[in-house]
């Protein structure tokens, strides 16, 4: 079975030659026969570190790399991908292997050509002490750092990477697959932590929030006794995060003392129900992520209304940008 390092694209180079080989990559002939533009290579906007944990499979690593490539087409990045040697394959030693990968693509016009660079580092547990200095050499010193920790097995183990955690403008975690204590762990810079679950729920938060914004806050809060969020097993994290968001937004409307309940429902569906003390007053929203359809049923102001709409979760590359910049 290939390792996560082996499955990623790129040309293997000596670690000490990374900078020179990246520079040579842009000086090689371009697709039109001329030299690739050095200006394109310098058009990076952010430093990005993707840290693939021990639980990452080869297929998973390839999927996350694809998400980063798609992201970089909008936000050109200097990206470092950290690929630890699996524990069962670690034979000790302090070897670090490296790959480089680059691509150019057009932006809004043929003159708007954007080039991005990737460095993959494969390292043993014994080499971890040398890793942060190597990462710092690979990154651009004048650009902000964004750090994405993917499928790490323990928060305490990840906390040893203080260079990335302390210096990153944003630390991206996915609470659907992270350790249970990840969001509450005392990271060196906790204010920088962002949950990708919350980010990919943006269409749901916008759809539900914009609909409820059509009612006065006191109408929404008056008589509210119970909030029920129903989710399928595969959307348990989304249900939990949506419940937390609703708690904060309904409290901002003046609601107090309402109960919250999460329950498991149909596959690929997510739903919100607001229960009221007044007979006939209710709010219900349900989204089906297989069909992309959602609907509202509402009787908040005495008149029953329904509305059909579309729904989706943000794709991975858009969830990254939402978590990083907003």
Residues of the chain with CATH 3.40.30: 202-310
For 23-54, the pLDDT digits (tens) are 888 775 554 444 444 444 446 789 999 999 99
Q: Locate tokens 């003159």: which residue?
A: 111
Residue 38 pLDDT: 46
Helix and strand totals (H; E) in the chain: 12, 14
CATH T-level assignment (fold) for domain 202-310? Glutaredoxin (3.40.30)
How buried is 159 (Cβ within 10 angstroms: 0-12 exposed, 13-18 middle, 19+ buried)?
A: middle
Coil, helix or strand at residue 288: strand
Tokens of 21: 């080989």
Residue 263 pLDDT: 97
pLDDT along the chain (326 residues), means of 10: 92 94 74 47 80 96 96 90 92 91 78 82 93 92 95 94 94 97 95 98 98 97 98 97 97 96 97 97 98 98 95 98 96
How high does pLDDT run on average in the chain?
Answer: 92
DSSP letters, 82-114, are EEEPPGGG---S--EEEEEEEEEEE-SSTT-EE
Residue 29 pLDDT: 55
Would the pTM count as exceeding 0.75?
Answer: yes
Signed CA dihedral, 231, 237, 240, 242: sign only: negative
Beginning with the edge strand found earlier in the chain, give each strand of the sheet holding 77-84 in spatial order: 11-13, 96-106, 113-123, 77-84, 46-52, 145-150, 170-173, 193-195
Q: At what angle do helices 202-212 and 236-252 cross, to 10 degrees?
A: 30
């Amino acid at each position: 079975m290939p390792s996560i390092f082996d499955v990623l694209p790129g040309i293997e180079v000596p670690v000490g030659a990374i900078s020179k080989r990246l520079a040579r990559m842009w000086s090689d002939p371009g697709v039109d026969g001329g030299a690739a533009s050095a200006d394109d290579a310098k058009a990076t906007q952010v430093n990005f570190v993707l840290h693939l944990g021990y639980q990452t499979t080869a297929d998973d690593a390839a999927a996350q790399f694809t998400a980063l490539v798609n992201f970089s087409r909008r936000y050109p990045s200097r990206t470092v991908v950290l690929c630890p040697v699996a524990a069962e394959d670690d034979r000790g030693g302090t070897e670090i292997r490296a790959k480089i990968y680059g691509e150019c693509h057009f932006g809004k016009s043929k003159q708007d050509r954007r080039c991005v660079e990737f460095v993959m580092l494969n390292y043993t547990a014994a080499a971890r002490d040398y890793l942060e200095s190597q990462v710092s050499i690979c990154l651009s010193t004048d650009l902000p750092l964004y750090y994405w920790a993917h499928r790490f097995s323990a928060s305490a183990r990840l906390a040893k990477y203080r260079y990335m955690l302390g210096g990153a403008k944003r630390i991206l975690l996915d609470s659907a697959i992270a350790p249970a204590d990840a969001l509450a762990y005392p990271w060196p810079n906790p204010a920088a932590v962002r949950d990708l679950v919350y980010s990919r729920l943006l269409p749901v938060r916008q759809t539900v929030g914009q609909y409820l914004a059509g009612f006065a806050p006191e109408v929404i809060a008056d008589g509210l006794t119970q909030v029920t969020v129903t989710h399928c097993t595969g959307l348990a994290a989304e249900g939990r995060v949506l419940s937390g968001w609703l708690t904060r937004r309904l409290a901002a409307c003046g609601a107090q003392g309402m109960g919250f309940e999460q329950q498991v429902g149909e596959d690929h569906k997510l739903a919100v129900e607001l229960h009221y003390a007044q007979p006939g007053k209710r709010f219900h929203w349900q989204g089906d992520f297989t069909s992309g359809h959602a609907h509202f049923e509402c009787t908040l102001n005495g008149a029953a209304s329904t509305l059909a709409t579309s729904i989706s979760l943000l794709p991975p590359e858009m969830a990254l940008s939402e978590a990083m910049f907003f």
